[in-house]
């Protein structure tokens, strides 16, 4: 029994304490998967950024953490989804200057830099889903 | 988990004329805002010349946490207490750099001793060199 490739955790995000729980869970899973400490921090910080975006822009949503398996490697996948207002212009949401000023932005370019794979799906009025992966 | 008032509070001690805050808890907006208020009140009543934020017990700091701490540091500075942050872990630093947060003006030291030494020297001399401040390289010194 090693690794986390079968593990999955779903955390409903409705308040700050849920964000904290998601971060703790992400740390636990990334540790169990034997990520290096710097990558453990990147994973935990990513979960924090994404979960806080859910609270701030959608009010509530869900964070899913799970192990993932690629052709030659293993890793961890994080999905953050909500049924909030969505993002009308996803291209600008991913450009650095859209988020200058720290808390005012979505922090998505930063999440993209911290992770190996990044996908943003959003439809105005329907919601947003961010899927990221970090490989070992 | 225990949620009663004070459970997530951040202890602040007076050392060599400076306030030293040991941040050992998980950072949330609420914890950081309460800490800011307590710290500013202590600065006002204790008349300290420096404030050290020891974050060596912090494992995760996102961009919002960093911005809130940075604002607290500039408030301390406006009150007359020089702020120094110490003990940022490598993982936090690399995440903050990836997040492209603005670290200009933030004074950092590797440990508490270095921070207190610098604050003591700064108190006794106005001409002390200040190598650890992260500045906009274009902003000063022609």
**What is the tens place of the pLDDT at every residue in B88-134?**
999 999 999 999 898 998 999 999 999 999 998 887 765 445 546 66
Look at residues A29, A22, A28 and name the one whose alpha carbon lies nearest to residue A6. A29
Among A13-27, A102-116, B71-85, the least confident range:
A102-116
Query: Based on the number of CB atoms within 10 Å of its own CB, is B137 exposed (0-12), middle (13-18) or buried (19 or more)?
Result: exposed
As a whole number, mean pLDDT of residues A54-70 equals 95
Tell the residue number behind the tokens 């992260």, with chain if given: B134
ipTM of the predicted structure?
0.84
Q: A19, B28: Cβ pair inside 8 Å?
A: yes
Dig out the tokens for B18 from the structure: 């400076």
Question: What is the distance, to the nearest Å, from the Cα of residue A47 to the centroid of all Cα atoms in its chain?
Answer: 4
**Residue A62 to chain B, least CA–CA distance (Å):** 18
As a whole number, mean pLDDT of residues B12-26 equals 92
What is the C-alpha separation between B142 and B139, in angstroms, rounded?
9
pTM for the model: 0.84
Interchain contact A41–B (C-beta under 8 A): yes
B137 pLDDT band, cuts 50/70/90, is very low
Phi, psi values for residue B107, rounded to 5°? -95, 130
The structural architecture, per CATH, of the domain B12-124 is: 2-Layer Sandwich (3.30)
What are A63-97's pLDDT values in tens digits? 999 999 988 999 999 999 999 999 888 888 888 76
Q: Does residue A135 sit in helix, strand or coil? A: strand
Interchain contact A19–B (C-beta under 8 A): yes
* pLDDT exceeds cutoff 70 at A29: yes
pLDDT at B135: 60
Question: What is the distance, to the nearest Å, from the Cα of residue B104 to the centroid of all Cα atoms in its chain?
Answer: 13
CATH of A8-135, one of 3.30.1160.10, 3.30.565.10, 3.30.420.310, 3.40.50.300: 3.30.565.10
As a whole number, mean pLDDT of residues B30-43 equals 93
Contacts of A107 in chain B (CB under 8 A): 62-63, 99
Q: A40, B30: Cβ pair inside 8 Å?
A: no
Closest residue, chain A, to B99 (C-alpha): A110
What is the C-alpha separation between B98 and A114, in angstroms, rounded?
6
H or E segment and range at residue A17: helix A16-32
Q: B64, A109: Cβ pair inside 8 Å?
A: no
Higher pLDDT, B105 or B21: B21
* pLDDT exceeds cutoff 60 at A103: no
Q: A110, B63: Cβ pair inside 8 Å?
A: yes
Phi, psi values for residue A33, rounded to 5°? -80, -5
Look at residues B92, B80, B93 and name the one whose alpha carbon lies nearest to residue B122. B80
pLDDT at A89: 83
pLDDT at B124: 76
Q: A48, B101: Cβ pair inside 8 Å?
A: no
* pLDDT exceeds cutoff 90 at A7: no
Q: A41, B91: Cβ pair inside 8 Å?
A: yes
Distances (CA, A) of B15 to A36, B32, B49: 35, 22, 11
**Residue ranges with strand state E in B44-124:** 50-54, 82-86, 108-109
As a whole number, mean pLDDT of residues B78-94 equals 95
Interchain contact A23–B (C-beta under 8 A): yes
As a whole number, mean pLDDT of residues A97-111 equals 64
Dig out the tokens for B30 from the structure: 């609420």
What is the C-alpha separation between A65 and A44, in angstroms, rounded?
11
**Residue A29 to chain B, least CA–CA distance (Å):** 15
B85 pLDDT band, cuts 50/70/90, is very high
Could you tell me which residues come within 8 angstroms of residue A41 by beta carbon, excluding any fewer than 6 positions away?
A: B59, B60, B89, B90, B91, B92, B94, B95
Q: B62, A41: Cβ pair inside 8 Å?
A: no
pLDDT at B136: 59
Of A39, A40, A102, the CB nearest to B101: A102
Q: Give the residue extent of every domain in chain B.
A: 12-124
**Residue ranges with strand state E in B58-117:** 82-86, 108-109
pLDDT at A127: 94
B6 pLDDT band, cuts 50/70/90, is low
H or E segment and range at residue A81: strand A74-82
Q: B100, A48: Cβ pair inside 8 Å?
A: no
pLDDT at A2: 53
- Which of the residues A41, A54, A107 would you substitute to probe the B interface, choosing the one with the greatest number of B C-beta atoms within 10 Å? A41
């Amino acid at each position: 029994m090693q690794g986390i490739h079968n593990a999955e955790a779903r955390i409903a995000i409705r308040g700050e304490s849920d964000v904290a729980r998601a971060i703790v869970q992400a740390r636990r899973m990334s540790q169990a998967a034997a990520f290096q400490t710097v990558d453990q921090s990147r994973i935990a910080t990513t979960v924090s950024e994404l979960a806080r975006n859910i609270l701030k822009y959608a009010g509530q949503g869900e964070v899913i953490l799970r192990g993932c398996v690629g052709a030659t490697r293993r890793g961890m996948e994080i999905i953050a989804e909500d049924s909030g207002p969505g993002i009308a212009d996803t291209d600008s949401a991913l450009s650095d200057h859209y988020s200058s000023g720290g808390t005012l932005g979505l922090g998505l370019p930063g999440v993209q830099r911290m992770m190996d794979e990044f996908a943003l799906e959003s439809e105005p009025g329907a919601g947003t889903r961010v899927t990221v992966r970090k490989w070992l | 988990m225990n949620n009663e008032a004070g459970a997530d509070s951040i202890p602040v001690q007076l050392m060599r004329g400076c306030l030293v805050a040991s941040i050992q808890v998980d950072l949330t907006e609420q914890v950081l805002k309460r800490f800011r208020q307590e710290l500013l009140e202590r600065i006002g009543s204790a008349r300290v010349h420096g404030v050290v934020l020891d974050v060596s017990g912090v494992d995760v700091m996102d961009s919002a946490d960093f911005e809130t701490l940075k604002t607290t540091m500039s408030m301390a500075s406006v009150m007359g207490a020089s702020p120094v942050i110490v003990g940022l872990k490598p993982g936090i630093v690399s995440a903050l750099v990836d997040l492209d947060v603005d670290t200009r003006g933030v004074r950092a030291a590797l440990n508490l001793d270095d921070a207190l030494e610098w604050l003591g020297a700064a108190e006794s001399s106005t001409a002390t060199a200040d190598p650890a401040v992260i500045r906009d390289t274009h902003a000063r010194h022609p």
